[in-house]
Structure 1
Amino acid sequence: MKIWKYLKQNHIFLDTMLTDKDAVFRFVAETCENEDIVTKASVLYDAMIARENTMSTGIGKGIGLPHAVTWDTEDPAVLFIRPAIPMDFDALDSQPVDLILAMIIPGNRINLHLQILAGISRLCKNNTFLKMLRTAQDSRELWHDIQELEEKMAFH
């Protein structure tokens, strides 16, 4: 599963001024509505909150993976957000989050949800990937670097 295929260059947000988890969910929902990924930001926001209420998507090592499955979209999407200041995300390791990979999945594509989540989890175990996310200065360059890394990883 190649994540770069679902992550558009204009869905990479570096050093974004977001202060907490709720602001992240609102930002993702509003961005998805503005980009015509979903028709209603409020539907996606509510789905993300419902998912988060089952268990925190702060998985540790500074990574947050908020996600939602919703019937309000037809196309899967991944957004990368690097907050300007690491934030509390109720992470499993209690550490602040500085890397956020949000996923929006159509309600009729549950298997794809698991595949994208597995692909992101695999990438998050790669120190080169994490360093790229933390040090990137340009979203276009980062997108190309992710694509290149994933193509190399396909052979290992």
Structure 2
Amino acid sequence: MARVLVTGGAGFLGSHLCDRLLEAGHEVVCVDNLLTGSRDNIAHNLEGSRPFEFILHDLIEPIRVEADFIYHLACPASPVQYRSNPVRTVKANVLGTMNMLGLARRTGARILLASTSEVYGDPLVHPQPESYLGNVNTLGPRACYD
């Protein structure tokens, strides 16, 4: 059984990833600051006897945990958040990723860095097929992610 760290683990994708990892028999450490994630998404894992640990933490600050694998999904990715607090949004993305890369190096963990759907811009087609390349405006509110 591997010990797996999932950042952004209380978000939509992160919480489902935590569920699948637990089903596969892994020990899961879920880290989230609940800025966009919700404790409701992981409540079922907190109540049982599953090998699941939740850590309320902002990845702008380093975190000391042990892990064999890191899935780094934490990333405020909304133009609304970027407009209301651009410095904090960029810090969360840059420092959060730097801290996870440092943790991976220190522990020897393998890391997967996930992007966000913001890289596709404002889609012109719904739902988007796998071949969709996006609709990107480099001067628009999503430009910090393009």
TM-score, structure 1 normalization:
0.29
Structure of larger gyration radius: 2
Structure number with higher helix proportion: 1
Higher RCO by CA contacts (8 Å cutoff, separation 6 or greater): 1
